[in-house]
Amino acid sequence: MGQYKRDNLAPLQLHVPEPKFRPGDKADFSDIVIPEVDAIPRPDEHAAPADIHGLAYGLVRVMGDDAKASGSWNPGLSAETLRLMLRKMLTLRAFDDRMFRAQRQGKTSFYMKSYGEEATSVATTMALHRDDMCFPSYRQQGILITRDYPLVDMMNQIYSNRGDRLKGRQLPIMYSAKDYGFFSISGNLTTQYPQAVGWAMASASRADTRIAAVWCGDGSTAEGDFHSAMTFAAVYNAPVIFQVVNNQWAISSFSGFAGSERTTFAARAIGYGIAGLRVDGNDALAVYAAMQWAANRARTNNGPTLIEYFTYRGEGHSTSDDPSAYRAAEEYALWPLGDPVERLKAHLIALDEWSDAQHEALVAELSDEVKAKQKEAEQNGILGHGLHHPFETMFEDVFEEMPAHLKEQCAQMLEEQRDKFGPEWEAR
């Protein structure tokens, strides 16, 4: 490994990004610029992408520090809709808490919470039509909850029990629910990006009216599929909404490793010639408004939009992660955009449509409901306690029809079970 030196040049330097705060540091977010509400007013939904570049560097906000909604982005939702939004976000939070605890109790192998990011799945889904297809990553369980997918079915999947619609084949939280417009989740990051574009292209080519929405995290934008999806969407003017949940962290890597030191994620849209919006991801009304704007654009053949939700991953990456090993402890408490649930609650209270007492009662009600659903799901079994789908289902659905070599292997596996559990095992 030789070094090539010229006397008249300083040596080159490799820049390796470093987050501002590490364990033991006191986080300070005072350098994050938070524009005024309506700093860039809502453009017409037919606006040319080139005319709205500012929105990719700004921050769409509806709720001010006084928790009141104002400005041209205010979606003007009814108090009833706002309460429903709050209810869904609180349900998600209660669900996450119970399932995280279930993992810690050894009832399942794995879980991932979306604490602090609830608006980016709940408010977005409320701004879509029920039959639009969502292509989520693994942190958008709020879509299912918003669309009233049965909590028991979500839990059955997490427990991989005999009620699991995915027959225990998938890691917990990798849901699939076609009837609910929720695409099968993959462990491979950002593969859903070009798939969403393909779905949207199919919809357009069939003169359908449905659109596609796809989510990924800040870290996953570095995948090649992100680029191919943006290119295809731009080329074919696909009715798709790209969303980047910028929660600042990809496991232990801060967003600088996905390129955030130089630009915003929304600004990636500019190079592809599509609309890009950067949004306060903890302002549920701004999130709703941005999605509604993008959905209207897609529905009227004005093409794709990229939305970046600027938010913060409130807890660890997963049950297998300990964030205190790589980031400052108080970051979430100090996060300048606050907590999405607390902000929506404050807004409803400011409208005189909600109260602390009502809130407490709702939290208690949802906690009880989730607990009851958990009991119901556990009737179907928990991971590793024997109540699972029949052994032979392991070989089903690899292909539409089971080929001969899989039939052979299935027979072998059943023999092995007989060896293991004795001749009567099938009667168990």
Partner 1 sequence: MSGDSVKTMNMIEAINSALDVMLGKDPDVVIMGEDVGYFGGVFRATAGLQKKHGKTRVFDTPISECGIIGVGVGMAAYGLRPVPEIQFADYIYPGLDQLVSEAARMRYRSANDFICPMTVRSPFGGGIFGGQTHSQSPESLFTHVCGIKTVIPATPYDAKGLLIAAIEDNDPVVFFEPKRIYNGPFTGYYDRPVEPWSKHDGSAVPEGYYRIDLGKASIVREGQAVTVLTYGTMVHVVKAVVAEHGIDAEIIDLRTLLPLDIDTIEASVKKTSRCMVVHEATRTSGFGAELSAQVQERCFYHLEAPVERVTGFDTPYPHSLEWAYFPGPVRLARAFDKIMKD
Give the interface with partner 1 as residue ranges (CB under 8 A).
133, 135, 165-167, 169-170, 174, 176-178, 183-184, 186-188, 191, 193-203, 205-206, 212, 224-225, 227-229, 231-232, 235, 397-400, 403-405
Nearer to partner 1, 37 or 229 (CB): 229
Least separation in angstroms between residue 201's CB and partner 1 is 6
Q: Residue 213's closest CA among 306, 77, 312, 117?
A: 306
Phi, psi of 390 (to 5 degrees): -55, 145
Nearer to partner 1, 67 or 406 (CB): 406
Nearer to partner 1, 90 or 204 (CB): 204
Contact 92, 118 (CB under 8 A): yes
Nearer to partner 1, 50 or 404 (CB): 404
- Rounded CA-CA distance 48/357 in Å is 47
- Rounded CA-CA distance 308/265 in Å is 6
- Rounded CA-CA distance 97/219 in Å is 25
Least separation in angstroms between residue 268's CB and partner 1 is 16
Least separation in angstroms between residue 180's CB and partner 1 is 10
Nearer to partner 1, 169 or 359 (CB): 169
Least separation in angstroms between residue 266's CB and partner 1 is 21
Q: Residue 269's closest CA among 218, 216, 231?
A: 231
Please name every residue paired with 193 in a beta bridge, in sequence order, or none if there are none.
none
Pairing of strands 305-310, 240-246: parallel
Residue 211: left (phi > 0), alpha (psi -120 to 50), or beta? beta
Which DSSP category does 302 fall into? -
Least separation in angstroms between residue 346's CB and partner 1 is 39
> N- to C-terminal Cα distance for the chain?
65
Q: Is the dihedral of CA 306, 310, 314, 316 positive or negative?
A: positive
Least separation in angstroms between residue 389's CB and partner 1 is 9
Length of the chain in residues, anyone?
428
Least separation in angstroms between residue 208's CB and partner 1 is 8
Nearer to partner 1, 206 or 420 (CB): 206
- Rounded CA-CA distance 113/90 in Å is 13
- Rounded CA-CA distance 122/293 in Å is 16
In 3-state terms, what secondary structure has residue 276? Answer: strand
Nearer to partner 1, 177 or 328 (CB): 177
Nearer to partner 1, 231 or 252 (CB): 231
Least separation in angstroms between residue 402's CB and partner 1 is 10
Nearer to partner 1, 95 or 199 (CB): 199
How many Cβ atoms sit within 10 Å of the Cβ of residue 290?
Answer: 32
Please name every residue paired with 212 in a beta bridge, in sequence order, or none if there are none.
133, 240
H/E stretch holding 214 reads strand 212-217
- Rounded CA-CA distance 282/249 in Å is 16
Q: Residue 305's closest CA among 373, 374, 229?
A: 229
Least separation in angstroms between residue 220's CB and partner 1 is 13
Nearer to partner 1, 218 or 225 (CB): 225
Least separation in angstroms between residue 205's CB and partner 1 is 4
Nearer to partner 1, 196 or 287 (CB): 196
Residue 386 CA from chain centroid, whole number: 32
Least separation in angstroms between residue 34's CB and partner 1 is 36
Q: What is the DSSP secondary-structure string of 386-423?
A: S--S-GGGGGTTSSSS--HHHHHHHHHHHHHHHHHH-T
